[in-house]
Chain A
Amino acid sequence: MSDATVAPPQLAHHFESLEKQQHAARLGMWLFLATEVLLFTALFAGYGVYRYLYSDTFQQASRHLHTWIGLTNTLILIVSSFTVAAGLDQAAKGKGRNTFRLFMFSVLCGVVFMCFKAYEYTHHFHEGMLPGRYYTYEALGSGPGGAIFFSLYYLITGLHAFHVLLGMTVLTVIGLRARAGRYTTEYFVPVELAGLYWHLVDLIWIFVFPLIYLA
């Protein structure tokens, strides 16, 4: 430990080596992602209960959504996840500018995703597909199933959309730092962790799509 090698500037003083520091950062991110999974699981469990109790209404309700928007948004998120993974690959080779470009493409995908979501929500608002007691849509019968479906719909897709916005912010900040040359081939763990967050947003949508749109 006492040899003359200079500690890399990114090494925090309480870590023995950069590798241990990066390992700790990675583990911390996975712990955070586990809590995110459980946050969404609570909503999925609620969905499961009411889907079981009002299965006919839920299946009808999902047919009143724009399936093509759900499908398009799924493909958009999958492609954006791919470009984030490719951005990490470029960061590992020390090509921070490419990382920035690929991350910005993913952010653009996020913008398109949110535009589709906004179009969809606007349509629902006009049709009276609103949550809980504001629900006035009449095509799904008189039971409470329709109102419950749309309450869960807004909770799940709304929380997911909030995560998309957060992910876009994270990708922008880390992408800009990568372009500024903050990361090296030895130290690019922030690029990796930003990518993990975006992949989780994709992962959750992969389950939202069949449950909400294809129920």
Chain B
Amino acid sequence: MAVSESHAESEKLHHSHLGRYVAVLAALVVLTVTTYLAAKVHLPAPWNVIVALAIATAKGSLVALFFMHLWDQQGANRLVFATSLVFVALLVGLTLADNATRFPLANPPGSVGALPAPEYVPPPQGGATYQR
């Protein structure tokens, strides 16, 4: 079974994909110009990032599926790549969730969610401060 599958895998590469590559190239150029123009519009705060990442994901999918032939390939290779994407989501998602849910004192001064500067009182000089 594995032999026939991997035979099919290499058979598919023997067909000419040139037309498909040209279509993907055109789509990638259009999406790149779109993301550039969308950034020029200056959308309100969360939407600029959402739109930019959505377009980047579309472009990345085109590259992975057609230039990298994941579309034609069998389960194992797709599974490996999909698994890496799960860990991308875990690493980025959990790290951001951690920072987004911290209480104010845990954030460094001057950043979002930190104490405002006037409320920050530096330790008194000469008292029980750390000596360098």
Chain A: interface size category: 35 or more
- Give the complex CA separation of A143 and B80 in angstroms: 41
B124 at the interface (CB under 8 A from A): no
Q: A33-B81, A38-B87 are in contact. Are A53 and B112 (CB under 8 A)?
A: yes
Complex interface: chain A residues within 8 A of B59 (CB): 206
Complex interface: chain A residues within 8 A of B132 (CB): none
Q: A26-B73, A33-B81, A85-B67 are in contact. Are A52 and B112 (CB under 8 A)?
A: yes
A60 at the interface (CB under 8 A from B): no
Are B16 and A52 interface neighbours, CB within 8 A?
A: no
- Give the complex CA separation of A214 and B55 in angstroms: 12
Are B67 and A199 interface neighbours, CB within 8 A?
A: yes
Interface residues in B1-56 by Cβ distance below 8 A to A read 2-3, 6-7, 9-10, 13-14, 16-18, 21-22, 24-25, 28-29, 32, 35-36, 39, 45, 48-49, 52-53, 55-56
Chain B residue nearest in CB terms to A41:
B88
A128 at the interface (CB under 8 A from B): no
Interface residues in B100-126 by Cβ distance below 8 A to A read 100, 107-108, 110-113
Chain A residue nearest in CB terms to B100:
A52
With both chains docked as a complex, state the minimum distance between the C-beta of A179 and any C-beta of chain B, in angstroms.
Answer: 20
Q: A23-B6, A206-B56, A206-B63 are in contact. Are A78 and B112 (CB under 8 A)?
A: no
Which of A67-75, A130-138, A156-164 contacts its partner?
Answer: A67-75
Interface residues in B64-114 by Cβ distance below 8 A to A read 64, 66-69, 73-74, 76-77, 80-81, 83-85, 87-88, 91-92, 95-96, 99-100, 107-108, 110-113
- Give the complex CA separation of A196 and B63 in angstroms: 10
With both chains docked as a complex, state the minimum distance between the C-beta of B5 and any C-beta of chain A, in angstroms.
Answer: 8
Complex interface: chain B residues within 8 A of A20 (CB): 2-3, 6
Complex interface: chain B residues within 8 A of A84 (CB): 67
Chain B residue nearest in CB terms to A46:
B95
Complex interface: chain B residues within 8 A of A143 (CB): 110-111
Please pick, from B80, B95, B108, the residue contacting A34 in the complex, using a CB distance under 8 A: B80
Are B6 and A19 interface neighbours, CB within 8 A?
A: yes
- Give the complex CA separation of A35 and B87 in angstroms: 10
Q: A44-B92, A86-B21 are in contact. Are A75 and B35 (CB under 8 A)?
A: no
Please pick, from B21, B52, B80, the residue contacting A214 in the complex, using a CB distance under 8 A: B52
A111 at the interface (CB under 8 A from B): no
Are B77 and A19 interface neighbours, CB within 8 A?
A: no
What are 17 A-B pairs with beta-carbon distances under 8 A?
A20-B2, A27-B77, A33-B81, A34-B81, A52-B112, A71-B36, A75-B32, A78-B29, A82-B22, A85-B67, A86-B21, A89-B17, A89-B21, A145-B111, A209-B35, A210-B55, A210-B56
Known: A53-B112, A82-B21. 9 other contacts (CB 8 A): A17-B3, A26-B73, A55-B112, A67-B36, A86-B18, A89-B21, A199-B67, A206-B60, A214-B36
Residue numbers of A with Cβ under 8 A of B are 17, 19-20, 22-23, 26-27, 30-31, 33-35, 37-38, 41-42, 44-45, 48-49, 52-55, 67, 71, 74-75, 78-79, 81-82, 84-86, 88-89, 92-93, 143-145, 185, 192, 195-196, 199-200, 202-203, 206-207, 209-211, 214-215
